[in-house]
Amino acid sequence: TFEAKLPAGRYVGVAALGNVTREIPFEVKDGSVARPKVNFDAAELTVVPKRSPDSDVETQAKTEITKGDFKDSVYGQNTAFVPAGEVLLTGSIGPARAQETLAIKAGEKISHELVIPSGVVVAKAVYAQDGKAVETDDIRFEALSAKETLDGTRQTINGVYGTGKIMEMPAGDFVMRTRLGKVMVEQPFTVTAGKRSEINIDLNAGVLAITAPGAERIDIVETTKDLQGTQKEISGRYGTRHQETLHPGDYSVKVSYDEKSGRDPKEIKATVKAAERTETNVPE
């Protein structure tokens, strides 16, 4: 209730129950008491979000509740006042989404379980099967849609840098795209609602480390030439040192020097092996 002394006249009272608001016109007359009443035509809704019907309540979930101009949101298991009628619940856990329409009757106290089919994925990688684990945070994991669009691309659902980190995902089939240096590998995987999935990606890769004293620039190129006689550049850097993660195979290393030095460019061959570090020195 609310009490106030007001000059005689016409007014509009605005009452709020949570995010449910109502406007009530009323009139104050000299020497009398105005007693406007409000009917919120609302209910008390408790949302219980879960990843699967048999899983625990998910505290990280966010649920948006909408109906016309009405909007409210709750986190985890929580309660909100909502207008009577059909309200739309949109639940999210990371990129996972779920929607339900709920019929609400005024005066009710409702507890509703909202299932948002989702799980978590932990991705790791090795340089070769049964080989050394990748530990650098330079590695990028991207979870993509299993289906390609008409132009041949896949939608990115989630992504992280570094190994062993948790990615929130909707339930379903996906493709994990993994990048480290110039190596890119794709591997299918499945997320089960309410479960934790771990995947280990075989990069089939090694590291080429080049030292070239006095160099202005170091470039790694393919050993083969195209019809124009040029070699495809793979990776390059200005300076006397360069390191790159590459698939196993033979490569050419080109070293160029400042024009003032009067030194001719050099080119040597280097071989990269899976799960090995190849160190190559280009003498002055």
What are the pLDDT digits (tens) for 188-211?
Answer: 999 999 999 999 999 999 999 999
In this chain, the answer to whether the domains covering 118-202 and 206-281 adopt an identical fold is yes
Residues linked to residue 185 through DSSP beta bridges, in sequence order: 178
| CATH number of the structural domain 42-115 | 2.60.40.1120
Q: Which helix (H) or strand (E) holds 12?
A: strand 9-17
- Does the pLDDT value for residue 272 go beyond 90? yes
CA count, 13 A, side-chain hemisphere, 41? 8
pLDDT at 117: 98
What are the pLDDT digits (tens) for 216-267?
Answer: 999 999 998 888 888 899 999 999 999 999 999 999 999 999 988 889 999 9
| CATH number of the structural domain 206-281 | 2.60.40.1120
Parse the chain into domains and list their residue ranges.
42-115, 118-202, 206-281
CB 209 within 8 A of CB 245: no
Phi, psi (degrees; rounded to nearest 5) at 261: -75, -20
- Does the pLDDT value for residue 37 go beyond 90? yes
pLDDT at 88: 98
Q: Quote the pTM value.
A: 0.85
What are the pLDDT digits (tens) for 56-76?
Answer: 999 999 999 999 999 999 999
**């978590």: which residue's tokens?**
120
Please report the sign of the dihedral spanned by the C-alpha atoms of residue 90, residue 91, residue 96, residue 98.
negative
Q: Which residues contact 54 (CB under 8 A, 6 or more apart)?
A: 194
| Cα–Cα separations (whole angstroms), residue 23 to 5, 15, 83, 263 | 19, 6, 14, 85
| Cα–Cα separations (whole angstroms), residue 94 to 12, 61, 62, 169 | 42, 8, 9, 7
Question: The domain at 118-202 falls in which architecture?
Answer: Sandwich (2.60)
The pLDDT > 70 percentage for the chain reads: 100
What are the pLDDT digits (tens) for 92-149?
Answer: 999 999 999 999 999 999 999 999 999 999 999 999 998 899 999 999 999 999 999 8
pLDDT at 226: 82
